[in-house]
Structure 1
Amino acid sequence: MGQPKQTSSVTPLRAMSRAVTFAAFGGLLLSQTAALAQSASQQLATTANSRSTVSQDNTTNAAAAFDDGTDDTATPAANGTTANPDDAAQRPAIPDAQAGDDITGSILDEDIRRLNTREAPIDETLPRRRAAESASTAETPGIPIGTFVLRPSVTQSINTETTKDGSTTQRRAFLETDAAATLTSDWGRHQLTVTSEGAWQRNISGEGEEQPSFKVNGDLRLDLPDDTVAHLTAGYNFYREDTDDPDAIANATQQSDVQEFSAGASVQRDFGILRGTTALALTRSIYSDATLTNGTTVALSDRDQTTGTLRGRVGYELSPALIPFIEATVGRTLYDETRDSAGYERSGHSYGAKAGVEVDLGEKLKGEVGVGYEMANFEDSRLSSIDTATLDASLLWSPIRGTDVNLDLQTSIQPSTTAGESGYVSHALTTTVTHQLRDNLVGTMIGGVTWRDYPTDSTINDELVYTAATGLTWNINRYLDLTSTLGYELTARKEGTDSQQWRAGVGLKLKR
């Protein structure tokens, strides 16, 4: 079955603690960017007034030296225009940096919704030379490396986590080290961006499985002639499956380590009021063995697979702020082993189509909404096909300066490797609110709900996962932040016991 949206089994709550920290940090960068822009505006206005005064004095002296008796009401300037000492004061001020330019929610797309990760719209146009790009990281200067700029950061935190599954309660305290880096080219044309992040955990008390992770992604944008933009992408993602994942191995002390290798290419071209985009993505997934409580291992190599997805979109520009579009997707998944350990053939196809509209009203509202249909089938006749109507939305709203509201709604088909099960439909809604409390203090609140809808012939009952988290980021100085997070997750089941998880942490972030 095709899998256009790759899945990670990291629980939303564990990823959410990082999301609130990074989202709050993004809001903090925004506020300081606006302050820098305002300061630059005032400085330019002051400089302009000074130059105007000097120009007036010089022309007045020249007129006095060569007075021909003519009463001129305006003094010609050196460039042939009329110089007026009030001109500088009448010039429009340079506007402040806009919130919507830099806060895009890319970080939330990668962390909080790792259970159902969204792919970026394939016709998303990146500006050729974004001046705001440097403003988004104006907090730190970075490290110049030739024609590139490296901006690294390291966060060290201490956390506590309590998990309750029925009558069983498990607690642990652990240290977590998060490292991230962004390498961006400074070329006159084209652009290469490489981003990486990783997390390492070590338990210091209690019991609970550690959750290491690491990912690196590269994007080479090629600015071609005739309003054509191409992207070449590649990436690597490592994570460990969580015990609450629907496909997790029961009674395992350590779940499988998953490695994902990805590569892709896309081409976008504008044909007047039409915009056409084609994208191809390939993903290779490799699963390691899981370790049981008795020390034995379970081989999961029958999950190894390769997925290819071809997507196409055509948009019609009614105006720069409103672009309706239609999109089609076809995917193919091939498992390394024709049959898995339970004897099922899980290779298959996926198809999808949707129609929607892109909206860009500046810093106030931007994003897209689409409705459509998606279907997945399998080569094994014993595995029922899965189909569903889809409703997807990704909107960023800024009601007032300093406050950003991100709404994300996603419908996707998630395949299963459980014997006799084909998978389920995931409906995920996430809302993030970031507010600047003070110049150096940003608060973030995140709430979400995910409905795992299994087919009617499935032996597994539907599940509802509720998540909530809040966080604060205090900017101590240019290179150091104090972060704190608090989160809660509830998994409610129609049959069987519910599970709950609480998590809290505090840390220091060093950035350059």
Structure 2
Amino acid sequence: MRVGCPSYRAVAAAASLAALVAAGPACAQQAEQGDDIGLRSGFDSGFPTSPSSLPVTSPESTGPAPALAPAGVTPPSSGADLEPVTPPQNDDDQTGPNYGKPKKKKPNLYRLGRKLYAPNPDVAPPLPALVPYRGSPGTRKSLNPEAPTAANGSDHAEPPPTVAVIPSYRRVRKPLPDDLPFAPTGVQVGELRLLPYFEGTTGYETNPNQVTTGVKASPVLRAEGGVDVASETSNHSLTGSLHGGYSDFPANTNANRPDASGLIDSRIDVTRNDQINLEGRFTIATQTPGSPLLAVPNSVFITSRPTIVSEGATLGGAHTFNRLTLGLKGTFDRTEYGDAQQSNGTTYRFSQDNYNDYGVVARAIYELTPAFSPFVESGADSRVRDNPADLSGYYRDSVGVLARGGAIVDFSNLLTGTVSAGYADRHYQDHRLQDLRGPTVDAALVYRVTPLTTVKFTAATTLAETTLAGASGAISRSLTLEVDHQLFRNFTISGIATYQPNEYQGVVVNEAFTTFTAKGIYSLTRDVQLTGSVSRQALSTTLGDGFKDYIFLTGFRLQR
């Protein structure tokens, strides 16, 4: 064996392996085109059988052409002459050539060999690109270039004459229900709305003169008219009401009586925080003959109903500091009494007790919340009579003071109004007359229990004058409770109860006046109503004098 010289067989094996590697791609291609029985054409013995399967060297090759070896002998070659051959890689079959049987390709279900649907642009043209419509949420109008616009830049362009527009049907909204379908609409006069009305009633009254003795029943004929006024301006305010009526008793003419009342309230807004308040008022009423308020000397009694007329005015102003409002006003009231007929045929001159009342009132209101505004109020007044002494010889000129506190409430329109409590004191010029003093309670509240039921409560305290000898006056407190309920949209029933105790100072005399009324209102239209009522009035006193009176009325009301 020769050392350092490779054996001839080793060289031949190396050359054969190189030729086999070079012929690999061609053999693999022939294997793919072979029979279905799995045999590789020309590769049964591992060597090529045709010259076409051998590698071919082109004339542009950089290296010299290898020399041919004798038959059956592979010529030796150096390592530099042999270039490594990389077998081709197949993405679907990673098995190299001549290494077992080829693996079958796995079908890729997610890859389609052909398109299922190819639209024909001639038959079905493609849809236009989607664009946002004008006014779509989060899109500006300028982002929609396809929307038609007019020449002036508006959103609506005039369509061509060959385009027909499909008519659109406007959705008609249902009218809102009217909470007061039979309330008067009123008459508009400039910036004022007038609500006139007229009532005519007839019925029967058991004690029209409201006396203890000599009771005489009579039919009753009553007529009443009036008008309410309210301004409709953004600034300033004007509200008012005027009512007047007359009751006629054919079988008892002494009981005939008028009644009237009027109030006008004006507010002038000088600035945003400054106001001027003006008010004018008057009342006409008659006094009850059997009341101790009309007591006269001797044993005679009053047979007629003397009138009492009161008129007054108020001038004041208010200034608002944020939530605090301070107000000051001056008042003037004139009270005039009518003369009365006595049981002995003489005339009692109540007109000697006419007097003037001058007063001043200061008030401070703080808006704690929009629903609750507490306030404090204090005032003083002076009553000066036309005649220093009355028919009994008492000097009844007096000076009074009043202090009270309360609140203005408005709880979501369920409970609205004003309530207050305080103390009043009146000192008379005649030392024989005691001071007229006592607590006061005033309220005007409206509570809407349900949309069909409303409860009203009013309370008032007044220091009333009297002609009763030895009595300085009477503290009169009036409490009224009214409940209204709508049985139907055009039919309302009401119940009213009034209790008025009168407590006299200086004498042991007390009286109580009560009233119970039930009435119904049936509305035919906004302008015509039918009314009916039943009332019971009673007066009881510690002197033993009193009366009971039952009233039955039915009638109509015209309003606009």
Q: Rg larger in 1 or in 2?
A: 2
- Are residues 233 and 80 of structure 1, via their aligned partners in 2, closer, same or farther at CA, if it must alter by over 3 Å? farther
1:154 is aligned to 198
**Letter paired with 2:556:** L
1:466 to 500, 514, 520: 514
For these two proteins, the number of residue pairs brought into alignment is 401
Q: TM-score, normalised to structure 1's length?
A: 0.71
1:424-447 CA-partner distances (Å, limit 9, x unpaired): 212322111111110100111011
Which moves more between the two structures, 230-239 or 68-77? 68-77
Shift, 1:144, TM fit: 3.8
1:26 is aligned to none
- Are residues 372 and 137 of structure 1, via their aligned partners in 2, closer, same or farther at CA, if it must alter by over 3 Å? farther
Contact 2:282 2:312 in 1 (8 A): yes
Secondary structure (helix, strand or coil) at the match of 1:412 reads strand
Shift, 1:235, TM fit: 2.7
**Letter paired with 1:69:** A
1:142 is aligned to 186
Shift, 1:398, TM fit: 0.8
Q: Distance in 1 between matches of 2:370 and 2:387?
A: 49
The aligned runs of 1:273-312 (5 Å cut-off) are: 273-312=323-362
1:328 is aligned to 378
1:484 to 522, 532, 536: 532
Quick one: percent identity of the two aligned structures?
Answer: 22
Shift, 1:147, TM fit: 4.3
Shift, 1:316, TM fit: 2.1
1:237 is aligned to 283
**Letter paired with 1:170:** K
2:293 is aligned to 247
Shift, 1:262, TM fit: 1.0
Contact 2:181 2:526 in 1 (8 A): no
- Are residues 251 and 498 of structure 1, via their aligned partners in 2, closer, same or farther at CA, if it must alter by over 3 Å? closer
Which moves more between the two structures, 321-330 or 73-82? 73-82
2:250 is aligned to 204
2:558 is aligned to 510
Q: Distance in 1 between matches of 2:191 and 2:364?
A: 35
Shift, 1:476, TM fit: 1.2
Q: Distance in 2 between matches of 1:440 and 1:265?
A: 42
Shift, 1:181, TM fit: 1.2
Shift, 1:255, TM fit: 3.2
Shift, 1:423, TM fit: 0.9
Secondary structure (helix, strand or coil) at the match of 2:370 reads coil
Q: Say which structure, 1 or 2, has more relative contact order (CA 8 Å, 6+ apart).
A: 1
Shift, 1:173, TM fit: 0.9
- Are residues 179 and 137 of structure 1, via their aligned partners in 2, closer, same or farther at CA, if it must alter by over 3 Å? farther
Matched, 1:434 2:459: no
The aligned runs of 1:3-402 (5 Å cut-off) are: 69-72=129-132, 75-76=135-136, 139-163=183-207, 169-206=215-252, 209-248=255-294, 251-402=301-452
- Are residues 160 and 419 of structure 1, via their aligned partners in 2, closer, same or farther at CA, if it must alter by over 3 Å? same
Shift, 1:502, TM fit: 1.0
Shift, 1:413, TM fit: 2.0
Unpaired runs of 5+ in structure 1? Answer: 1-66, 99-135
Secondary structure (helix, strand or coil) at the match of 2:217 reads strand
Contact 1:170 1:208 in 2 (8 A): no
Shift, 1:496, TM fit: 1.2
**Letter paired with 2:184:** T
Normalized per residue, which structure has more strand? Answer: 1
- Are residues 245 and 224 of structure 1, via their aligned partners in 2, closer, same or farther at CA, if it must alter by over 3 Å? farther
Q: Distance in 2 between matches of 1:80 and 1:364?
A: 47
Unpaired runs of 5+ in structure 2? Answer: 1-126, 144-154, 156-169
Q: Distance in 2 between matches of 1:139 and 1:362?
A: 22
Shift, 1:226, TM fit: 2.8
Contact 2:254 2:304 in 1 (8 A): no
Secondary structure (helix, strand or coil) at the match of 1:384 reads coil
Q: Distance in 2 between matches of 1:378 and 1:360?
A: 40
1:475 to 509, 520, 523: 523
Shift, 1:501, TM fit: 1.3
Shift, 1:294, TM fit: 4.7
**Letter paired with 1:282:** F
2:95 is aligned to none
Q: Distance in 2 between matches of 1:329 and 1:440?
A: 45
Normalized per residue, which structure has more helix? Answer: 1
Q: Distance in 1 between matches of 2:326 and 2:501?
A: 33
Contact 2:211 2:290 in 1 (8 A): no
Q: Distance in 1 between matches of 2:346 and 2:181?
A: 48
Matched, 1:403 2:434: no
1:60-113 CA-partner distances (Å, limit 9, x unpaired): xxxxxxx97333266459996999xxxx99x9x999788xxxxxxxxxxxxxxx
Shift, 1:453, TM fit: 1.6
Contact 2:338 2:350 in 1 (8 A): yes
1:27-64 CA-partner distances (Å, limit 9, x unpaired): xxxxxxxxxxxxxxxxxxxxxxxxxxxxxxxxxxxxxx
Q: TM-score, normalised to structure 2's length?
A: 0.65
**Letter paired with 1:157:** T
Shift, 1:331, TM fit: 1.0
2:79 is aligned to none
Root mean square deviation of aligned Cα = 3.1
Shift, 1:322, TM fit: 1.6
Q: Distance in 1 between matches of 2:550 and 2:376?
A: 42
1:448 is aligned to 498
Contact 1:222 1:231 in 2 (8 A): yes
- Are residues 323 and 142 of structure 1, via their aligned partners in 2, closer, same or farther at CA, if it must alter by over 3 Å? closer
- Are residues 202 and 368 of structure 1, via their aligned partners in 2, closer, same or farther at CA, if it must alter by over 3 Å? closer
Shift, 1:462, TM fit: 1.2
Which moves more between the two structures, 480-489 or 221-230? 221-230
Secondary structure (helix, strand or coil) at the match of 1:472 reads strand
